[in-house]
Amino acid sequence: MYLYSVTININKTSEQEWLDFMQDKHIADVLNSGYFTKASMRKALQNNDENITTYNIEYLTESAAKYNEYTQKAAPALQKDVTEKFAGKFTAQRAVYQIVFEL
């Protein structure tokens, strides 16, 4: 199994609108792309910048091949939707991990 992790720093002035968009549309769109089986979101409790809130979204996929296909076929349009709607209001860091074990 593989975990695709997206960490977002969102301006507090846009936080609620962004959070609603993510919960109501974007995460469902990513899951409906067919490349991921599960998603979860968490909010950081501490942040060094009082004007920013940090969130992390994780998507679970069965293989590196599925993740790679997602990045080529679905990710550009999905990321474009978020970037256009919230341009200049957030930063994103993305990483993919192979799950070694779970308890």
Domain ranges of the chain: 2-98
Helix (H) or strand (E) holding 102: none
Distance separating alpha carbons of residues 79 and 84, to the nearest angstrom: 9
3-state secondary structure of 45: coil
Q: Which pLDDT score is estimated for 47? A: 85
Q: Which CATH number fits domain 2-98: 3.40.50.2300, 3.30.70.100, 3.90.1150.10, 1.25.40.340?
A: 3.30.70.100
C-alpha closest to that of 26 among 2, 49, 8, 47:
8
Q: Are 61 and 38 in contact (CB under 8 A)?
A: no
Q: Which pLDDT score is estimated for 39? A: 98
Running DSSP on this structure, what letter comes out for residue 13? G
Model confidence over 40-59: pLDDT tens digits?
A: 999 999 988 999 999 999 99
Backbone angles phi, psi at 43, to 5 degrees: -115, 130
pTM recorded for the entire structure: 0.94
What average pLDDT values come out for the chain (103 residues) when binned by 10 residues? 98 98 98 98 93 98 97 97 97 97 93
